A and B are shown apart, each in its own frame.
Chain A
Amino acid sequence: MAKIASAKTAAKTKSTPKGAATPISTPGPQPGKTTGPKKVHVHYLTRVEGHGNIIVDVEADGRVSTCRWEVPEAPRFFEAMLVGRDYKDVHHIVSRICGICAIGHQLASLQATEDALNINVSEQTHILRRLALHAENLQSHLLHIAYLVLPDLMGVDSILPLAATHKDAVLKFIAARRVANEFSRLICGRTTHPQRFVPGGFTMFPSTEELEALRTKLTDSLPNLDFAVDLFATLTDRFPKFERETEYVGLVSPAEYAMYWGEIGSTKDERRPVRQYRNITREYIIPTSTAKWTKNQGESYMVGALARFNLNAEHLLPRAAAAAKKLGLKKGCTNPYFITIAQLVESVHTVEESLQLVDELLTRGIRDEAPAKANIFAGRGAGAVEVPRGILFHAYEYDEQGRIFQADCVIPTNQNHANIQKDLEALVPTLTGLTEKEMELKLSMLVRAYDPCISCSTHCIDARGLDNEPQGMVRFNYK
Protein backbone atom coordinates (compact mmCIF):
# COMPACT_ATOMS: atom_id res chain seq x y z
CA MET A 1 0.00 0.00 0.00
CA ALA A 2 2.66 2.48 1.01
CA LYS A 3 4.60 1.69 -2.13
CA ILE A 4 1.69 2.41 -4.42
CA ALA A 5 0.88 5.60 -2.61
CA SER A 6 4.37 6.91 -3.03
CA ALA A 7 4.33 5.91 -6.68
CA LYS A 8 1.16 7.92 -7.08
CA THR A 9 2.65 10.88 -5.30
CA ALA A 10 5.69 10.86 -7.53
CA ALA A 11 3.69 10.49 -10.71
CA LYS A 12 1.28 13.17 -9.64
CA THR A 13 4.04 15.71 -9.30
CA LYS A 14 5.30 14.83 -12.75
CA SER A 15 1.97 14.73 -14.50
CA THR A 16 0.45 17.87 -13.08
CA PRO A 17 0.15 20.38 -15.90
CA LYS A 18 2.47 23.35 -15.66
CA GLY A 19 0.80 26.30 -14.04
CA ALA A 20 -1.91 24.26 -12.39
CA ALA A 21 -1.75 24.02 -8.67
CA THR A 22 -1.14 20.61 -7.21
CA PRO A 23 -3.86 19.52 -4.81
CA ILE A 24 -3.74 22.25 -2.29
CA SER A 25 -2.68 21.87 1.30
CA THR A 26 -3.68 24.86 3.38
CA PRO A 27 -2.77 25.78 5.99
CA GLY A 28 -0.10 23.83 7.83
CA PRO A 29 2.95 21.80 6.96
CA GLN A 30 3.42 20.18 3.60
CA PRO A 31 2.55 16.51 3.22
CA GLY A 32 4.65 14.30 5.36
CA LYS A 33 4.15 12.20 8.44
CA THR A 34 0.91 13.13 10.14
CA THR A 35 1.32 14.78 13.45
CA GLY A 36 -2.07 15.79 14.74
CA PRO A 37 -4.34 17.09 15.95
CA LYS A 38 -5.81 18.02 12.59
CA LYS A 39 -8.38 17.13 10.02
CA VAL A 40 -7.59 15.57 6.70
CA HIS A 41 -10.33 16.84 4.46
CA VAL A 42 -10.73 15.43 0.98
CA HIS A 43 -12.88 18.26 -0.27
CA TYR A 44 -14.93 17.41 -3.35
CA LEU A 45 -13.70 13.96 -4.11
CA THR A 46 -12.68 13.83 -7.75
CA ARG A 47 -13.40 11.25 -10.39
CA VAL A 48 -16.87 10.61 -9.01
CA GLU A 49 -20.17 11.92 -10.29
CA GLY A 50 -21.39 14.60 -7.90
CA HIS A 51 -19.84 16.20 -4.82
CA GLY A 52 -18.59 14.30 -1.79
CA ASN A 53 -16.17 14.98 1.05
CA ILE A 54 -14.16 12.73 3.34
CA ILE A 55 -13.16 14.18 6.68
CA VAL A 56 -10.61 12.49 8.93
CA ASP A 57 -9.95 13.61 12.48
CA VAL A 58 -6.43 12.99 13.70
CA GLU A 59 -5.71 13.21 17.42
CA ALA A 60 -2.66 14.82 19.03
CA ASP A 61 -0.89 11.46 19.33
CA GLY A 62 -1.29 10.84 15.59
CA ARG A 63 -4.09 8.35 16.08
CA VAL A 64 -7.00 8.59 13.63
CA SER A 65 -10.16 8.87 15.72
CA THR A 66 -13.00 9.28 13.23
CA CYS A 67 -13.67 9.26 9.54
CA ARG A 68 -16.75 10.83 7.97
CA TRP A 69 -18.40 10.72 4.57
CA GLU A 70 -20.41 13.82 3.65
CA VAL A 71 -22.38 14.84 0.59
CA PRO A 72 -22.91 18.55 -0.10
CA GLU A 73 -24.73 18.14 -3.41
CA ALA A 74 -27.44 20.71 -4.11
CA PRO A 75 -30.93 19.34 -3.46
CA ARG A 76 -33.19 19.07 -6.49
CA PHE A 77 -36.57 17.83 -5.17
CA PHE A 78 -37.45 15.49 -8.00
CA GLU A 79 -40.17 13.61 -6.12
CA ALA A 80 -41.92 16.90 -5.51
CA MET A 81 -41.49 18.00 -9.13
CA LEU A 82 -43.32 14.88 -10.25
CA VAL A 83 -46.49 15.63 -8.33
CA GLY A 84 -49.34 16.39 -10.71
CA ARG A 85 -47.43 15.37 -13.84
CA ASP A 86 -49.00 13.24 -16.56
CA TYR A 87 -47.88 9.59 -16.79
CA LYS A 88 -46.51 10.17 -20.31
CA ASP A 89 -44.00 12.78 -19.08
CA VAL A 90 -42.84 11.12 -15.87
CA HIS A 91 -39.95 9.06 -17.26
CA HIS A 92 -38.66 12.08 -19.17
CA ILE A 93 -38.52 14.08 -15.94
CA VAL A 94 -36.80 11.42 -13.80
CA SER A 95 -34.32 10.82 -16.61
CA ARG A 96 -32.84 14.17 -15.62
CA ILE A 97 -31.98 12.87 -12.15
CA CYS A 98 -28.78 11.44 -13.56
CA GLY A 99 -26.89 11.94 -16.80
CA ILE A 100 -25.04 8.64 -16.47
CA CYS A 101 -27.93 6.34 -15.58
CA ALA A 102 -30.66 8.18 -17.47
CA ILE A 103 -31.72 4.96 -19.21
CA GLY A 104 -31.96 3.04 -15.93
CA HIS A 105 -34.10 5.78 -14.39
CA GLN A 106 -36.37 5.77 -17.44
CA LEU A 107 -36.75 1.98 -17.31
CA ALA A 108 -37.49 1.81 -13.56
CA SER A 109 -39.93 4.66 -14.05
CA LEU A 110 -41.69 2.97 -16.97
CA GLN A 111 -41.95 -0.26 -14.98
CA ALA A 112 -43.56 1.59 -12.08
CA THR A 113 -45.97 3.46 -14.36
CA GLU A 114 -46.88 0.31 -16.29
CA ASP A 115 -47.37 -1.57 -13.04
CA ALA A 116 -49.65 1.16 -11.72
CA LEU A 117 -51.70 1.59 -14.89
CA ASN A 118 -51.74 -2.09 -15.79
CA ILE A 119 -49.98 -1.70 -19.15
CA ASN A 120 -48.66 -4.96 -20.59
CA VAL A 121 -45.77 -4.53 -22.98
CA SER A 122 -44.68 -6.94 -25.72
CA GLU A 123 -41.85 -9.46 -25.58
CA GLN A 124 -39.97 -7.38 -28.16
CA THR A 125 -40.22 -4.32 -25.91
CA HIS A 126 -38.73 -6.29 -23.03
CA ILE A 127 -35.82 -7.48 -25.17
CA LEU A 128 -35.10 -3.98 -26.45
CA ARG A 129 -35.27 -2.54 -22.94
CA ARG A 130 -32.93 -5.22 -21.62
CA LEU A 131 -30.50 -4.32 -24.39
CA ALA A 132 -30.80 -0.63 -23.49
CA LEU A 133 -30.01 -1.42 -19.86
CA HIS A 134 -27.00 -3.53 -20.88
CA ALA A 135 -25.71 -0.75 -23.11
CA GLU A 136 -25.87 1.80 -20.33
CA ASN A 137 -24.30 -0.50 -17.76
CA LEU A 138 -21.49 -1.31 -20.16
CA GLN A 139 -20.65 2.29 -20.94
CA SER A 140 -20.88 3.34 -17.29
CA HIS A 141 -18.77 0.42 -16.05
CA LEU A 142 -16.09 1.10 -18.63
CA LEU A 143 -16.06 4.79 -17.73
CA HIS A 144 -15.59 3.89 -14.08
CA ILE A 145 -13.04 1.13 -14.63
CA ALA A 146 -10.83 2.95 -17.11
CA TYR A 147 -11.29 6.67 -16.51
CA LEU A 148 -11.97 6.76 -12.79
CA VAL A 149 -10.25 3.79 -11.14
CA LEU A 150 -7.36 2.78 -13.40
CA PRO A 151 -5.47 6.07 -12.77
CA ASP A 152 -5.27 5.20 -9.03
CA LEU A 153 -3.82 1.79 -9.80
CA MET A 154 -1.28 3.26 -12.20
CA GLY A 155 -0.29 6.05 -9.82
CA VAL A 156 -1.51 9.01 -11.88
CA ASP A 157 -4.29 11.53 -11.37
CA SER A 158 -6.36 10.94 -14.50
CA ILE A 159 -6.53 8.93 -17.68
CA LEU A 160 -4.86 11.78 -19.60
CA PRO A 161 -1.24 10.97 -18.64
CA LEU A 162 -1.96 7.29 -19.40
CA ALA A 163 -2.81 8.30 -22.96
CA ALA A 164 0.90 9.09 -23.33
CA THR A 165 2.44 6.27 -21.28
CA HIS A 166 -0.03 3.44 -22.00
CA LYS A 167 -1.50 4.56 -25.30
CA ASP A 168 -2.40 1.07 -26.51
CA ALA A 169 -4.37 0.21 -23.37
CA VAL A 170 -6.15 3.57 -23.31
CA LEU A 171 -7.15 3.28 -26.97
CA LYS A 172 -8.54 -0.21 -26.32
CA PHE A 173 -10.65 1.10 -23.45
CA ILE A 174 -11.82 4.05 -25.53
CA ALA A 175 -12.70 1.69 -28.39
CA ALA A 176 -14.68 -0.60 -26.07
CA ARG A 177 -16.50 2.38 -24.63
CA ARG A 178 -17.26 3.76 -28.07
CA VAL A 179 -18.90 0.44 -28.94
CA ALA A 180 -20.97 0.71 -25.76
CA ASN A 181 -22.08 4.21 -26.74
CA GLU A 182 -22.90 3.13 -30.30
CA PHE A 183 -24.80 0.19 -28.83
CA SER A 184 -26.81 2.56 -26.69
CA ARG A 185 -27.41 4.98 -29.57
CA LEU A 186 -28.71 2.20 -31.77
CA ILE A 187 -31.28 0.97 -29.27
CA CYS A 188 -32.24 4.22 -27.52
CA GLY A 189 -31.46 6.96 -30.03
CA ARG A 190 -29.73 9.70 -28.05
CA THR A 191 -27.74 8.07 -25.24
CA THR A 192 -28.31 10.73 -22.56
CA HIS A 193 -32.00 11.34 -21.85
CA PRO A 194 -33.20 9.12 -24.71
CA GLN A 195 -36.48 9.87 -26.47
CA ARG A 196 -37.59 6.49 -27.85
CA PHE A 197 -39.06 5.02 -24.67
CA VAL A 198 -42.75 5.56 -23.94
CA PRO A 199 -45.12 3.85 -21.51
CA GLY A 200 -46.15 0.69 -23.37
CA GLY A 201 -43.21 0.37 -25.73
CA PHE A 202 -41.01 2.25 -28.18
CA THR A 203 -41.48 4.99 -30.77
CA MET A 204 -38.61 3.82 -33.00
CA PHE A 205 -36.85 0.55 -33.64
CA PRO A 206 -33.41 -0.47 -34.87
CA SER A 207 -33.40 -2.05 -38.34
CA THR A 208 -32.25 -5.61 -39.08
CA GLU A 209 -29.10 -4.21 -40.71
CA GLU A 210 -28.35 -2.10 -37.66
CA LEU A 211 -28.77 -5.09 -35.38
CA GLU A 212 -26.46 -7.16 -37.56
CA ALA A 213 -23.86 -4.38 -37.46
CA LEU A 214 -24.28 -4.24 -33.70
CA ARG A 215 -23.66 -7.98 -33.45
CA THR A 216 -20.38 -7.55 -35.32
CA LYS A 217 -19.30 -4.62 -33.17
CA LEU A 218 -20.08 -6.39 -29.91
CA THR A 219 -18.27 -9.51 -31.06
CA ASP A 220 -15.27 -7.40 -32.05
CA SER A 221 -15.15 -5.70 -28.68
CA LEU A 222 -14.79 -8.98 -26.77
CA PRO A 223 -10.99 -9.10 -27.35
CA ASN A 224 -10.71 -5.56 -25.94
CA LEU A 225 -12.55 -6.69 -22.82
CA ASP A 226 -10.33 -9.77 -22.59
CA PHE A 227 -7.39 -7.40 -22.72
CA ALA A 228 -8.90 -5.38 -19.87
CA VAL A 229 -9.40 -8.56 -17.84
CA ASP A 230 -5.77 -9.59 -18.40
CA LEU A 231 -4.58 -6.10 -17.46
CA PHE A 232 -6.60 -5.96 -14.25
CA ALA A 233 -5.59 -9.51 -13.33
CA THR A 234 -2.07 -8.08 -12.94
CA LEU A 235 -3.33 -5.11 -10.91
CA THR A 236 -5.67 -6.70 -8.34
CA ASP A 237 -2.89 -6.85 -5.74
CA ARG A 238 -2.69 -3.05 -5.87
CA PHE A 239 -6.11 -2.74 -4.25
CA PRO A 240 -5.87 -2.38 -0.47
CA LYS A 241 -6.39 -5.59 1.48
CA PHE A 242 -9.55 -4.87 3.39
CA GLU A 243 -12.45 -7.12 4.30
CA ARG A 244 -15.70 -6.18 6.01
CA GLU A 245 -18.77 -8.39 6.26
CA THR A 246 -21.94 -6.64 5.19
CA GLU A 247 -25.36 -7.39 3.73
CA TYR A 248 -25.56 -7.53 -0.08
CA VAL A 249 -28.82 -6.54 -1.75
CA GLY A 250 -29.83 -6.81 -5.40
CA LEU A 251 -32.30 -8.27 -7.85
CA VAL A 252 -32.37 -12.06 -8.03
CA SER A 253 -34.01 -14.39 -10.48
CA PRO A 254 -34.00 -18.19 -10.62
CA ALA A 255 -32.87 -18.35 -14.23
CA GLU A 256 -30.45 -15.51 -14.91
CA TYR A 257 -28.01 -12.92 -13.64
CA ALA A 258 -30.84 -10.55 -12.75
CA MET A 259 -30.56 -6.99 -14.05
CA TYR A 260 -33.88 -6.07 -15.62
CA TRP A 261 -36.37 -7.81 -13.39
CA GLY A 262 -36.68 -10.22 -10.50
CA GLU A 263 -37.26 -10.18 -6.78
CA ILE A 264 -35.27 -8.25 -4.22
CA GLY A 265 -32.65 -10.63 -2.85
CA SER A 266 -30.33 -10.28 0.10
CA THR A 267 -27.49 -12.31 1.53
CA LYS A 268 -28.98 -11.91 5.00
CA ASP A 269 -32.72 -11.66 4.46
CA GLU A 270 -35.64 -13.31 2.70
CA ARG A 271 -36.59 -12.54 -0.89
CA ARG A 272 -39.26 -9.95 -1.42
CA PRO A 273 -41.33 -8.77 -4.36
CA VAL A 274 -40.35 -5.35 -5.68
CA ARG A 275 -43.52 -3.70 -4.36
CA GLN A 276 -42.27 -4.39 -0.83
CA TYR A 277 -39.03 -2.46 -1.41
CA ARG A 278 -39.68 -0.17 1.54
CA ASN A 279 -39.24 -3.12 3.91
CA ILE A 280 -35.65 -3.32 2.69
CA THR A 281 -34.65 0.24 2.00
CA ARG A 282 -35.97 1.80 5.21
CA GLU A 283 -34.71 5.31 4.54
CA TYR A 284 -33.71 7.70 7.29
CA ILE A 285 -32.23 11.16 7.45
CA ILE A 286 -29.26 12.27 9.52
CA PRO A 287 -28.33 15.90 10.11
CA THR A 288 -24.54 15.76 9.83
CA SER A 289 -24.38 14.01 6.51
CA THR A 290 -26.20 14.08 3.28
CA ALA A 291 -28.75 12.18 1.33
CA LYS A 292 -31.23 9.83 2.94
CA TRP A 293 -29.48 6.72 4.25
CA THR A 294 -30.84 3.18 4.31
CA LYS A 295 -30.47 0.08 6.45
CA ASN A 296 -32.01 -3.38 6.50
CA GLN A 297 -30.87 -6.28 8.66
CA GLY A 298 -27.63 -4.73 9.87
CA GLU A 299 -26.38 -1.18 10.19
CA SER A 300 -25.91 -0.87 6.46
CA TYR A 301 -26.01 -2.83 3.22
CA MET A 302 -24.29 -2.71 -0.14
CA VAL A 303 -25.82 -2.57 -3.61
CA GLY A 304 -24.01 -2.61 -6.95
CA ALA A 305 -21.80 -4.88 -9.01
CA LEU A 306 -20.23 -6.72 -6.05
CA ALA A 307 -23.64 -7.26 -4.41
CA ARG A 308 -25.04 -8.59 -7.68
CA PHE A 309 -22.02 -10.84 -8.13
CA ASN A 310 -22.32 -12.17 -4.59
CA LEU A 311 -26.02 -12.94 -5.14
CA ASN A 312 -25.95 -14.20 -8.73
CA ALA A 313 -22.42 -15.36 -9.63
CA GLU A 314 -23.60 -18.86 -10.64
CA HIS A 315 -25.70 -17.31 -13.43
CA LEU A 316 -22.76 -15.61 -15.18
CA LEU A 317 -22.30 -16.61 -18.80
CA PRO A 318 -19.16 -18.67 -19.58
CA ARG A 319 -16.80 -15.92 -20.73
CA ALA A 320 -17.70 -13.76 -17.71
CA ALA A 321 -17.30 -16.72 -15.35
CA ALA A 322 -13.85 -17.33 -16.83
CA ALA A 323 -13.01 -13.64 -16.38
CA ALA A 324 -14.05 -13.80 -12.71
CA LYS A 325 -11.78 -16.80 -12.24
CA LYS A 326 -8.86 -15.07 -13.91
CA LEU A 327 -9.41 -11.97 -11.76
CA GLY A 328 -9.63 -14.05 -8.58
CA LEU A 329 -13.14 -12.85 -7.78
CA LYS A 330 -15.09 -15.43 -5.79
CA LYS A 331 -18.67 -15.45 -4.56
CA GLY A 332 -18.71 -14.12 -1.00
CA CYS A 333 -16.02 -11.50 -1.61
CA THR A 334 -16.17 -8.86 1.14
CA ASN A 335 -13.54 -6.42 -0.11
CA PRO A 336 -15.37 -3.27 -1.30
CA TYR A 337 -12.34 -2.23 -3.38
CA PHE A 338 -13.23 -5.22 -5.60
CA ILE A 339 -16.46 -3.59 -6.77
CA THR A 340 -14.47 -2.43 -9.79
CA ILE A 341 -13.39 -6.01 -10.50
CA ALA A 342 -17.02 -7.16 -10.30
CA GLN A 343 -17.89 -4.40 -12.76
CA LEU A 344 -15.32 -5.71 -15.19
CA VAL A 345 -16.75 -9.23 -14.91
CA GLU A 346 -20.22 -7.78 -15.49
CA SER A 347 -18.99 -5.90 -18.56
CA VAL A 348 -18.02 -9.22 -20.14
CA HIS A 349 -21.33 -10.78 -19.11
CA THR A 350 -23.23 -7.82 -20.52
CA VAL A 351 -21.67 -8.18 -23.96
CA GLU A 352 -22.27 -11.95 -23.94
CA GLU A 353 -25.91 -11.63 -22.96
CA SER A 354 -26.46 -8.73 -25.37
CA LEU A 355 -25.20 -10.92 -28.22
CA GLN A 356 -27.78 -13.55 -27.23
CA LEU A 357 -30.54 -10.93 -27.11
CA VAL A 358 -29.56 -9.46 -30.49
CA ASP A 359 -29.65 -12.97 -31.97
CA GLU A 360 -33.06 -13.51 -30.46
CA LEU A 361 -34.35 -10.28 -31.99
CA LEU A 362 -32.91 -11.19 -35.38
CA THR A 363 -34.46 -14.64 -35.23
CA ARG A 364 -37.86 -13.27 -34.25
CA GLY A 365 -37.59 -10.43 -36.76
CA ILE A 366 -37.95 -6.87 -35.52
CA ARG A 367 -41.49 -5.51 -35.81
CA ASP A 368 -42.59 -1.88 -35.97
CA GLU A 369 -45.25 -2.21 -33.29
CA ALA A 370 -47.38 0.47 -31.63
CA PRO A 371 -46.98 0.99 -27.87
CA ALA A 372 -49.46 -0.90 -25.70
CA LYS A 373 -52.49 1.16 -24.72
CA ALA A 374 -52.67 2.70 -21.28
CA ASN A 375 -55.73 2.41 -19.06
CA ILE A 376 -56.12 5.52 -17.00
CA PHE A 377 -57.23 4.86 -13.46
CA ALA A 378 -55.96 5.57 -9.99
CA GLY A 379 -53.33 3.04 -9.02
CA ARG A 380 -50.00 2.31 -7.47
CA GLY A 381 -46.98 0.61 -8.92
CA ALA A 382 -43.31 -0.05 -8.36
CA GLY A 383 -40.38 -0.82 -10.61
CA ALA A 384 -36.81 -1.96 -9.98
CA VAL A 385 -33.85 -2.37 -12.28
CA GLU A 386 -30.15 -2.90 -11.64
CA VAL A 387 -28.32 0.21 -12.81
CA PRO A 388 -24.51 0.41 -12.77
CA ARG A 389 -24.34 1.37 -9.09
CA GLY A 390 -26.99 -1.03 -7.83
CA ILE A 391 -30.68 -1.61 -7.44
CA LEU A 392 -32.88 1.38 -8.31
CA PHE A 393 -36.50 1.66 -7.19
CA HIS A 394 -39.22 3.95 -8.49
CA ALA A 395 -42.72 3.80 -7.02
CA TYR A 396 -45.65 5.96 -8.00
CA GLU A 397 -49.22 6.52 -7.03
CA TYR A 398 -51.44 7.90 -9.81
CA ASP A 399 -54.76 9.70 -9.49
CA GLU A 400 -57.77 8.89 -11.68
CA GLN A 401 -56.52 11.30 -14.38
CA GLY A 402 -53.22 9.46 -14.74
CA ARG A 403 -51.32 12.18 -12.92
CA ILE A 404 -48.79 11.53 -10.15
CA PHE A 405 -50.22 11.83 -6.68
CA GLN A 406 -47.08 10.69 -4.92
CA ALA A 407 -43.67 9.49 -6.06
CA ASP A 408 -40.72 7.82 -4.42
CA CYS A 409 -37.32 7.12 -5.94
CA VAL A 410 -34.68 5.14 -4.02
CA ILE A 411 -31.32 5.56 -5.64
CA PRO A 412 -28.43 3.07 -5.35
CA THR A 413 -25.92 5.59 -4.08
CA ASN A 414 -28.26 6.55 -1.25
CA GLN A 415 -28.44 2.89 -0.28
CA ASN A 416 -24.65 2.72 -0.25
CA HIS A 417 -23.95 5.87 1.82
CA ALA A 418 -24.33 4.08 5.15
CA ASN A 419 -22.15 1.22 3.95
CA ILE A 420 -19.45 3.65 2.80
CA GLN A 421 -19.52 5.22 6.26
CA LYS A 422 -19.23 1.82 7.98
CA ASP A 423 -16.33 0.88 5.70
CA LEU A 424 -14.57 4.14 6.54
CA GLU A 425 -15.03 3.42 10.24
CA ALA A 426 -13.57 -0.05 9.78
CA LEU A 427 -10.63 1.46 7.90
CA VAL A 428 -9.82 3.88 10.75
CA PRO A 429 -7.45 1.54 12.67
CA THR A 430 -5.43 0.93 9.50
CA LEU A 431 -4.86 4.64 8.90
CA THR A 432 -2.74 5.52 11.91
CA GLY A 433 0.82 6.16 10.89
CA LEU A 434 0.10 6.72 7.22
CA THR A 435 1.09 9.96 5.55
CA GLU A 436 -1.61 12.38 4.48
CA LYS A 437 -1.16 11.38 0.87
CA GLU A 438 -1.43 7.68 1.66
CA MET A 439 -4.50 8.27 3.76
CA GLU A 440 -6.11 10.36 1.07
CA LEU A 441 -5.47 7.72 -1.57
CA LYS A 442 -6.71 4.81 0.51
CA LEU A 443 -9.91 6.63 1.50
CA SER A 444 -10.72 8.14 -1.86
CA MET A 445 -10.09 4.81 -3.57
CA LEU A 446 -12.64 3.25 -1.24
CA VAL A 447 -15.33 5.80 -1.97
CA ARG A 448 -14.48 5.81 -5.66
CA ALA A 449 -14.86 2.01 -5.74
CA TYR A 450 -18.56 2.47 -5.01
CA ASP A 451 -18.71 4.61 -8.16
CA PRO A 452 -20.95 7.00 -6.22
CA CYS A 453 -23.41 8.83 -8.37
CA ILE A 454 -24.07 11.61 -5.95
CA SER A 455 -26.17 13.90 -8.07
CA CYS A 456 -28.48 10.89 -8.36
CA SER A 457 -29.17 11.04 -4.65
CA THR A 458 -32.36 12.98 -5.13
CA HIS A 459 -32.71 13.84 -1.48
CA CYS A 460 -29.26 15.27 -0.97
CA ILE A 461 -28.75 17.97 1.58
CA ASP A 462 -26.03 20.45 2.36
CA ALA A 463 -23.57 19.29 4.94
CA ARG A 464 -20.79 21.70 4.12
CA GLY A 465 -21.75 24.33 6.65
CA LEU A 466 -20.49 27.87 6.43
CA ASP A 467 -17.34 27.21 4.58
CA ASN A 468 -16.29 29.79 2.08
CA GLU A 469 -12.78 28.49 1.54
CA PRO A 470 -11.69 28.08 -2.05
CA GLN A 471 -12.39 24.56 -3.18
CA GLY A 472 -9.09 22.76 -3.08
CA MET A 473 -9.12 19.00 -3.30
CA VAL A 474 -7.46 18.40 0.04
CA ARG A 475 -7.47 20.59 3.07
CA PHE A 476 -5.69 20.17 6.36
CA ASN A 477 -7.45 21.92 9.21
CA TYR A 478 -5.66 22.25 12.51
CA LYS A 479 -7.94 22.19 15.52
Chain B
Amino acid sequence: MNFQIMTQLKVAKYLDIREARNFASKIKSELAADQPCVVVDLSEVEKIDAAALDLFLRCILQVAKHDGVVRLAGLSPQAATVLELTRMDRIFAMFPEGAEALPYFEAPSVDLPARESVRQHSAA
Protein backbone atom coordinates (compact mmCIF):
# COMPACT_ATOMS: atom_id res chain seq x y z
CA MET B 1 0.00 0.00 0.00
CA ASN B 2 1.26 3.46 -0.81
CA PHE B 3 0.03 5.91 1.72
CA GLN B 4 0.32 9.62 1.15
CA ILE B 5 -0.34 12.38 3.64
CA MET B 6 -3.51 13.95 2.44
CA THR B 7 -4.71 15.91 5.39
CA GLN B 8 -3.43 17.24 8.63
CA LEU B 9 -6.34 18.31 10.80
CA LYS B 10 -5.96 20.49 13.85
CA VAL B 11 -8.56 20.15 16.55
CA ALA B 12 -9.63 23.19 18.61
CA LYS B 13 -9.10 23.76 22.32
CA TYR B 14 -12.42 22.27 23.38
CA LEU B 15 -13.35 19.11 21.53
CA ASP B 16 -17.08 19.18 22.11
CA ILE B 17 -19.87 17.86 19.89
CA ARG B 18 -19.78 20.98 17.68
CA GLU B 19 -16.06 20.71 17.06
CA ALA B 20 -16.45 16.98 16.47
CA ARG B 21 -19.10 17.73 13.82
CA ASN B 22 -16.68 20.13 12.12
CA PHE B 23 -14.11 17.42 12.21
CA ALA B 24 -16.62 14.92 10.78
CA SER B 25 -17.43 17.18 7.83
CA LYS B 26 -13.73 17.61 7.07
CA ILE B 27 -13.21 13.87 7.24
CA LYS B 28 -16.21 13.32 4.96
CA SER B 29 -14.49 15.29 2.23
CA GLU B 30 -11.43 13.06 2.57
CA LEU B 31 -13.47 9.90 2.16
CA ALA B 32 -13.81 10.48 -1.57
CA ALA B 33 -10.15 9.58 -2.00
CA ASP B 34 -8.87 6.05 -1.85
CA GLN B 35 -7.04 5.15 1.29
CA PRO B 36 -7.40 8.52 2.98
CA CYS B 37 -4.61 9.30 5.37
CA VAL B 38 -5.23 11.76 8.14
CA VAL B 39 -2.99 13.09 10.87
CA VAL B 40 -5.04 14.62 13.66
CA ASP B 41 -3.22 17.29 15.60
CA LEU B 42 -4.45 17.35 19.21
CA SER B 43 -1.80 19.70 20.56
CA GLU B 44 -4.24 22.44 21.50
CA VAL B 45 -6.94 20.29 23.01
CA GLU B 46 -7.66 20.99 26.66
CA LYS B 47 -11.14 19.54 27.11
CA ILE B 48 -12.92 16.65 25.46
CA ASP B 49 -16.44 15.46 26.15
CA ALA B 50 -17.84 11.97 25.74
CA ALA B 51 -20.21 12.80 22.86
CA ALA B 52 -17.31 14.30 20.90
CA LEU B 53 -15.20 11.24 21.55
CA ASP B 54 -18.03 9.07 20.28
CA LEU B 55 -18.36 11.03 17.04
CA PHE B 56 -14.61 11.27 16.70
CA LEU B 57 -14.38 7.50 16.95
CA ARG B 58 -17.11 7.01 14.34
CA CYS B 59 -15.28 9.28 11.89
CA ILE B 60 -12.15 7.30 12.35
CA LEU B 61 -14.07 4.07 11.73
CA GLN B 62 -15.38 5.59 8.51
CA VAL B 63 -11.82 6.30 7.42
CA ALA B 64 -10.85 2.75 8.27
CA LYS B 65 -13.75 1.43 6.16
CA HIS B 66 -12.19 3.23 3.19
CA ASP B 67 -8.88 1.51 3.91
CA GLY B 68 -7.53 4.74 5.27
CA VAL B 69 -5.43 5.42 8.32
CA VAL B 70 -5.72 7.95 11.10
CA ARG B 71 -2.80 8.89 13.30
CA LEU B 72 -2.93 11.15 16.34
CA ALA B 73 -0.09 13.60 16.77
CA GLY B 74 1.16 16.24 19.17
CA LEU B 75 -1.13 15.19 21.99
CA SER B 76 -1.50 17.78 24.71
CA PRO B 77 -1.15 16.26 28.19
CA GLN B 78 -4.85 16.92 28.76
CA ALA B 79 -5.85 15.09 25.57
CA ALA B 80 -3.49 12.24 26.40
CA THR B 81 -5.03 11.98 29.87
CA VAL B 82 -8.58 11.85 28.52
CA LEU B 83 -7.68 9.30 25.84
CA GLU B 84 -6.01 7.16 28.47
CA LEU B 85 -8.99 7.57 30.78
CA THR B 86 -11.39 6.38 28.08
CA ARG B 87 -8.95 3.67 26.99
CA MET B 88 -8.83 5.09 23.49
CA ASP B 89 -5.05 5.31 23.73
CA ARG B 90 -5.01 1.56 23.04
CA ILE B 91 -6.56 1.84 19.60
CA PHE B 92 -4.55 4.70 18.10
CA ALA B 93 -0.95 5.12 17.07
CA MET B 94 0.14 8.34 18.68
CA PHE B 95 3.10 10.52 17.78
CA PRO B 96 4.69 13.43 19.60
CA GLU B 97 4.77 15.54 16.42
CA GLY B 98 2.80 15.41 13.16
CA ALA B 99 5.99 15.08 11.11
CA GLU B 100 7.02 12.00 13.05
CA ALA B 101 3.93 10.20 11.80
CA LEU B 102 5.05 10.52 8.14
CA PRO B 103 7.37 7.51 7.93
CA TYR B 104 4.64 5.29 9.30
CA PHE B 105 2.32 6.28 6.48
CA GLU B 106 4.93 5.71 3.82
CA ALA B 107 6.05 2.38 5.21
CA PRO B 108 3.24 1.05 7.33
CA SER B 109 5.07 -2.22 7.98
CA VAL B 110 7.58 -0.36 10.16
CA ASP B 111 7.03 -1.09 13.83
CA LEU B 112 5.14 1.68 15.52
CA PRO B 113 6.83 3.46 18.40
CA ALA B 114 6.11 2.12 21.83
CA ARG B 115 3.11 3.82 23.39
CA GLU B 116 5.09 4.47 26.54
CA SER B 117 7.57 6.74 24.75
CA VAL B 118 4.72 8.86 23.44
CA ARG B 119 3.28 9.09 26.95
CA GLN B 120 6.59 10.20 28.35
CA HIS B 121 6.93 12.80 25.67
CA SER B 122 3.51 14.23 26.33
CA ALA B 123 4.24 14.22 30.03
CA ALA B 124 7.39 16.26 29.44
Co-complex (A, B): no
Tell me the B residues contacting A by CB distance below 8 Å.
none
Tell me the A residues contacting B by CB distance below 8 Å.
none
